Structure 1
Amino acid sequence: MSINARDLMTSLFALAMMAASYSFAVPPDHAGGGRGGGGKPHNPDLYGDLVIIDRDINGVPITTLGLGPKDKWVQVPQPVMLGPVVGCPLVFTELEQVGVDSIYTVHGIDARYVPMVDGEIPTEYLACTTEADFGRLSAVRAPEMVVDHALEEMVTVLSGVDQQDEYISVDEAGRLVVVVYTFDDDLGFPVLTSKTIDAPMENGAAFERILEAARLYHDDVIGGLPIALPVHPGGHGEAGNLFDRAAAMLGAAADKSGKVGLDETLYTTQFMTLTADMTSEAETMFGPPFEGTYFNFSSYEYDRSITYSGNVCYLKIISPEGLPPVGETLPVDVVAELVNEPLLPLAFPPLEGSSDYVGGLSDEGDYTGFTGSNVWAFAQAADDARAVIEWMHSHPVPIELEPYCQLAQ
């Protein structure tokens, strides 16, 4: 996508102005939130031309004086580079580093400003900016009624669990699952069958509802009663569990092969105008928004090794070992075994070099660990859920073998 410098700054400025306009809004003191009870418009016109910018530890943009709409000098976000960019004429190591208040400085990441000239980014430097890649997260642009229907669908399924031989759980990635417990006469033992709620739109709508209302519900389903959400490993208190659920839902709403980064996370919350419709319960649970606009993730803490400390069932190739030589086809006879193995080394293998262990990542020997807090950790938690979903998608268990996962070693 080609854009000129003024369009880029106008788009970023428009997002800032949209956010500022909501700083004067009074959060509704009711259980409604934004959906299933009045609704609110999203901001689809602000999608596109949004790039990675400098932010403080809470995700609030760090701005500088620049030209905004109608050539007026205003405070504008500052695009950053996180390393050399192909097609960019600038020498990364010669650029100005971000300041001590930057979230990148706090996390030990070398980030540098894309320089402005006369208050704007020159056309020849536009290739140096990095667009936030939303992928499937762009579904938040869908009409309100579409997203509301997706939320209603999810809540309807979850509210139908009878609590006797069914219950709500989470899968390895933290997505909500309806589990049914039955006795299989052919196998001769009780088995569990499950239905994972994996629809991106449903997960995106639920992500929004949880953060703006501190509970998952829909006004038109069982009288608006909230769904009792299961606790996933890593949950620490009610707010922590809600954050965990929301992070997994954001990961499920994203592209499996993409990445949920800091800017994708924060832009998405702004497009959904989460802070405009936060209930008083949500503000009490999570904390008031920063500058009345930016969602408050400051109480969130995340440890990958705790959240993904369990095992995963999959078909492991026993023979042949490794991939066939280039140009040769795989042998016809492939031996696989149904196994339960630790998830961490499978989904989060060690990184290639020691210099990659920044921003809270750590070398734990057979896997890469992460610990962190605030919005940086929330974005990582969402991306970790996405990564686990991608791994599971690449290693499916045939449905007829799923009951045997209970017996696999």
Structure 2
Amino acid sequence: MIALPLDTASAAGQGSGSGQQRGQGAGGGHGQGGSDAAHGRSGGLGGIFRDITGAADEDSDRPDWAGEKGGKAGAGAKPETAGSKRGDVFGDLWVILRDEDGVPILTPEGFVQPLDADGNPIPLDEEGHPVDETLTVEVELGRLNVGRAPTKVLDRRADEVIALLSGATALALDPAGRLLVTSVVDGVETTKTIDSPLENLAIYVALMTTGSIPGLTPETLAGTEFDFMVDGQLTVEDLEAAPAFLAAATDKTGVFTADEIAYIDAFLGIQTTTVGDVTYSDIEYADFSYDRSDTFTGVTTTVLIQQTDGSWLPTEVNIYEVVFDNVDLTASGSLEAFTAAAEDARLVIEYIHEYAVPVDQLAAN
């Protein structure tokens, strides 16, 4: 792996790639690679819900603060209960030296290496602490909007998601890349986006660990453009779909950074490994690619647009134009590329939420 420091801004490297176009049935190529099942996860989608929200067994070693609102104003600053031992991922959340996959590049002594605002290594003392802590750049975690809930509630939510997907007559992606489910309820066909933060985060964890949504049988999506979600393997298709689910699980106003996603993945136990005292997610992004124009060109949605007379009317808009001003972005082979895709999905979700048409008004039109 090439040792590259990750900047605090959401950035993208050069390259080309192709993504699934939003707002219609997603097309996907053949993914590569594979993954074993996530260690310690059981109980299907409900089990993932419990892991995320802290409703797991009382003897779980999951930190008490994980899944809770953290830091001032919910910005997700370092939890008060976070440890401070050498390299512990639950310690100070600083921008650190990482390689292209987001894996920490340790010092010869086994410490993580904090970086200053210009990307320069900060001198450490013999305990691995920055000599001048004021030079560090803190990573603010976007609040994971999941909270805590009783196990029965989480199991019921999981059952509802599985039932919704299993009973779908059609699946597509909404403009941001979230699942758009069409089903028939009491003889009436309805279409809805899975927009619950908890449900999207659970889908993200499932795809990034096992490459499959637990509880769905392969027959459920067999022969569709979404069969990669039940194939039992972590493929590039799972990686390309995952950023939108992560974006849907966090607050909609904070800009994603690569360090933030690296910390979130580690907190969620996604493909983690431990070297000495340092625990981190070790995800291979070599085959991941993202192209904004391929993903969003031609994608439309209906939102409220203010007219010249001051009124607001439902209007169909082009996402690539109104959100991205027709500016392209391509990235591949790194956590930075994955971050760029997640940030673009977050921007689209934020735009849709800001100008959403009320359901009753949308139905009337």
TM-score (normalizing by structure 1):
0.58
Q: What residue is the counterpart of 1:112 in the other structure?
A: 120
Q: What residue is the counterpart of 2:201 in the other structure?
A: 204
Q: Deviations over 1:302-348 (max 9, x none)?
A: 111111121222222221xxxxxxxxxxxxx5233432222123222
Q: Which amino acid aligns with 1:132?
A: V
Q: What residue is the counterpart of 1:126 in the other structure?
A: 133
Q: What residue is the counterpart of 2:338 in the other structure?
A: 378
Q: Secondary structure at the match of 1:259?
A: coil
Q: Deviations over 1:144-199 (max 9, x none)?
A: 887666544422322232x2xxx2222111111222589xxxxxxxx974222111
Deviation at 1:29, TM superposition (A): 6.0
Q: Secondary structure at the match of 1:61?
A: coil
Deviation at 1:127, TM superposition (A): 3.1
Q: Secondary structure at the match of 2:107?
A: strand
The within-5 A match list for 1:335-374 is 335-349=311-325, 366-374=326-334
Q: What residue is the counterpart of 1:8 in the other structure?
A: none
Change (3 A) 1:46 1:315: closer
Deviation at 1:374, TM superposition (A): 2.7
How far apart, CA to CA, are the structure 2 residues paired with 1:174 and 1:137? 18
How far apart, CA to CA, are the structure 2 residues paired with 1:300 and 1:259? 21
Q: What residue is the counterpart of 1:44 in the other structure?
A: 63
Unaligned 5+ runs, structure 1: 1-26, 66-73, 84-110, 183-190, 233-237, 278-290, 320-332, 350-365
Q: What residue is the counterpart of 1:35 in the other structure?
A: 42
Deviation at 1:266, TM superposition (A): 1.6
Greater helix percent: which structure? 1
CA contact (8 A) 1:262 1:376 kept: yes
Change (3 A) 1:131 1:31: closer
Q: Deviations over 1:12-48 (max 9, x none)?
A: xxxxxxxxxxxxxxx9966997232587757326863
Q: Deviations over 1:248-281 (max 9, x none)?
A: 111111110012221221222222222269xxxx
Q: Secondary structure at the match of 1:133?
A: coil
User: Aligned residues: percent identity?
Assistant: 30
The within-5 A match list for 1:281-320 is 294-309=282-297, 310-319=299-308
Q: What residue is the counterpart of 2:106 in the other structure?
A: 63
How far apart, CA to CA, are the structure 2 residues paired with 1:30 and 1:371? 28
Change (3 A) 1:34 1:386: same
Q: What residue is the counterpart of 2:5 in the other structure?
A: none
CA contact (8 A) 2:35 2:209 kept: no
Deviation at 1:139, TM superposition (A): 4.5
Q: What residue is the counterpart of 1:156 in the other structure?
A: 163
Q: Secondary structure at the match of 1:267?
A: helix
CA contact (8 A) 1:147 1:201 kept: no
CA contact (8 A) 2:331 2:337 kept: yes
CA contact (8 A) 2:286 2:332 kept: no
CA contact (8 A) 2:145 2:251 kept: no
May I ask how many residue pairs the two structures share in their alignment? 283
CA contact (8 A) 1:215 1:227 kept: no
TM-score (normalizing by structure 2):
0.65
Q: Which amino acid aligns with 1:79?
A: P
Deviation at 1:52, TM superposition (A): 1.5
Deviation at 1:227, TM superposition (A): 5.1
The within-5 A match list for 1:225-240 is 228=221, 231=225, 239-240=235-236
CA contact (8 A) 1:269 1:295 kept: no
Q: Deviations over 1:213-263 (max 9, x none)?
A: 111123xxx6x557539759xxxxx93432232211111111100122212
Q: Which has the larger radius of gyration?
A: 1
The within-5 A match list for 1:10-21 is none
Q: Secondary structure at the match of 1:168?
A: strand
Q: Which amino acid aligns with 2:104?
A: P
